[in-house]
Structure 1
Amino acid sequence: MTITIAQNSAHPLTVNRLGYGTMRLTGPEIWGEPDNRPEALEVLKTAVAEGVNFLDTADYYGEDVTNRLITEALHPYPNGLVICTKVGATRKPDKSWVVFNSPENLRTSIDNNLRTLKQDQIQLVHFRIMPHSEVPFDESLGAMFEMQREGKIQHVGLSNVSREELEAGLKMGPIATVENMYGYGQRTTLKTPHGENRGGEEVLDLCEQHGIPLIPYFSLVNSLPKATAKIAELAQKHNASEAQINIAWLLHKSPWILPIPGTSSVAHLRENLKAADIRLSQEDMEYLG
């Protein structure tokens, strides 16, 4: 199974439809070096060896930890590998997450990603929308498109985006991908003070209409009532783990979904990748709802 990013552009990117999110490779609280650095490097090498050619990272993971691990494990990068990063936030020494989304901030983040990933151009960058931002959305996204024109970024995506913001972004320029929280047990995110939802359910149909891959994060969270019980029942039926059924549900939900389940374990990585072999019937999908 493959999916094409920016299919109508001059430089589309076709990747296998099960990627890998690197966030779990850091230390506790997504900060610092991993407890087991050799295994973290082996996870990345194994993922690529098993056919994963889409990696999701950010320079504020660690900070800069996942980028440096990717470079150490995989550089020079194999042909066809797509590395996607995110900008719009940064971390303080107290491990807090803060907004970092002025045009100057975004340029600093892009330059840092280019340096740590040892790239001349980043293939895909998500502008992550953070709460309590004082910078207008169109000003930040405009800076992203400007860096795309300069050649620093190949494709621009949005993360943690509401439906209204995605609609506004599409009017400003080509949006290649959307990365929102989404999974069988996590359909929407909490509403913002302005009443906006920023989950996958709110934007999936719009992504499908425009041929935009939806990349779900935190896809293995089960917060819906009875979600765990139904997943457990299907896992037993298919002789699979609950995580595998969660991933399989995403793959069956829409051909425009590109899951990126993360883990710091080689064993769990291999288990997650096997979810692509699970075939859920129409009856299974109707049962899950």
Structure 2
Amino acid sequence: MSTTITIAQHSARPLTVNRLGYGTMRLPGPDVWGEPADRVEALQILRTAVGSGVNFLDTTDYYGEDVTNRLIREALYPYPPELVICKKVGATRRPDKSWVPYNRPEELRASIEKNLRTLGQEQIQVVHYRVMPNSPMPLAEALGAMFDMQREGKILHVGLSNVTPEELQEGLGLGAIATVENMYSYAQRTTHRTPHFESRGGEEVLDLCEQHGIPLIPYFSLLHALPKELDKVAEVARKYNATPAQINIAWLLHRSPWLLPIPGTSQLAHLRENLQAANIALSPDDMAYLG
């Protein structure tokens, strides 16, 4: 199992990172809003993650709002040269905590500027344009704005988030797509729909990512397994004296060398458990059994 992955491998400035990152979405308060319940622990989680070899962080200005960016800067600035801080744009939050599109070209530019300012950076290394299924914004227009900012030097690499295979194929025709971030876990591999939102599945775009050498970054990678699947995960967990969450992460790492999991947590003990999952070597029989 490969322990590293390269982003934008064919570009002039590829980025190689360790294959277990950290997603900051769980650091703010309830509903991904407001300050963390324990600010000291939140800062310690970030420092411990990076100190343990995590060099890929996922964040955005609409977590909090802007809480995770400020925590990252307080905990880690000046940033280690090997650290990649990945951002998302294309959405914003209302005071009622709802998630709404914020993806007109001028709004995308405002988000980029805000992320750079809050984090104290001159360039975003990787930024995902998050597709909001209920938005009329054409993908070509939004990505055009992203590529404009890439040419200006504000963005190093452009990625896509929450995309269908058709949208990813369209994006590839518009420019270099460095990464894709979709929902993916052992139990939730395909598109998940609710009355208010649609999360596109990782399994649906994995083949296309592999064909083009594009890292796929699973979000919500610790989504709880369905009851019938949890039995299998629990059985394998007992074999390795591990937790089901650790087996879920290990499964992602073994599923494809192009997966870069970013499990998030707001508890330091769980962070340490998650990091240990990288040391679990699932056998081919384990993978066949899990499916």
Provide the TM-score with structure 2 as the length reference. 0.96
1:8 aligns with 2:19: no
1:17 aligns with 2:12: no
- Structure 1 counterpart of 2:61: 59
- Structure 2 counterpart of 1:113: 115
Deviations 1:198-229 (A, max 9, x none): 21011001000000000000111135452111
- Structure 1 counterpart of 2:95: 93
Comparing 217-226 with 131-140, which one deviates more in the overlay?
217-226
CA change 1:45–1:99 in 2 (3 A) is same
- Choose the corresponding residue for 1:34, options 25, 33, 36: 36
CA shift, 1:131, in A, is: 2.1
- Structure 1 counterpart of 2:233: 231
Provide the TM-score with structure 1 as the length reference. 0.97
State the one-letter code of the partner of 1:12: P
Corresponding pairs, count? 287
Name the SS of the counterpart of 2:129 in structure 1. strand
CA shift, 1:189, in A, is: 1.9
State the one-letter code of the partner of 1:180: N
Give, in whole Å, the separation in 1 of the partners of 2:213 and 2:37.
39
- Choose the corresponding residue for 1:277, options 268, 276, 279: 279
CA shift, 1:190, in A, is: 2.5
Query: Contact 2:162–2:199 at 8 Å: present in 1 too?
Result: no
- Structure 2 counterpart of 1:82: 84
Structure 1 residue runs of 5 or longer lacking an equivalent are: none
- Choose the corresponding residue for 2:45, options 43, 46, 57: 43
1:244 aligns with 2:278: no
Please list, as runs of the form range in 1=range in 2, the aligned pairs for 1:161-176 lying within 5 A after superposition: 161-176=163-178
Query: Contact 1:162–1:197 at 8 Å: present in 2 too?
Result: no
Structure 2 residue runs of 5 or longer lacking an equivalent are: none
State the one-letter code of the partner of 1:280: L
CA shift, 1:132, in A, is: 1.4
Query: Contact 1:163–1:198 at 8 Å: present in 2 too?
Result: no
- Structure 2 counterpart of 1:70: 72
Give, in whole Å, the separation in 1 of the partners of 2:152 and 2:10.
20
Give, in whole Å, the separation in 1 of the partners of 2:222 and 2:191.
14
Query: Contact 1:5–1:14 at 8 Å: present in 2 too?
Result: yes
- Choose the corresponding residue for 1:265, options 264, 267, 272: 267
Comparing 131-140 with 153-162, which one deviates more in the overlay?
131-140
Give, in whole Å, the separation in 2 of the partners of 1:275 and 1:177.
23
CA change 1:2–1:204 in 2 (3 A) is same
- Structure 2 counterpart of 1:179: 181
CA shift, 1:135, in A, is: 1.3
Give, in whole Å, the separation in 2 of the partners of 1:245 and 1:197.
23
- Choose the corresponding residue for 2:205, options 200, 203, 207: 203
State the one-letter code of the partner of 2:105: P
CA change 1:82–1:283 in 2 (3 A) is same
CA change 1:233–1:243 in 2 (3 A) is same
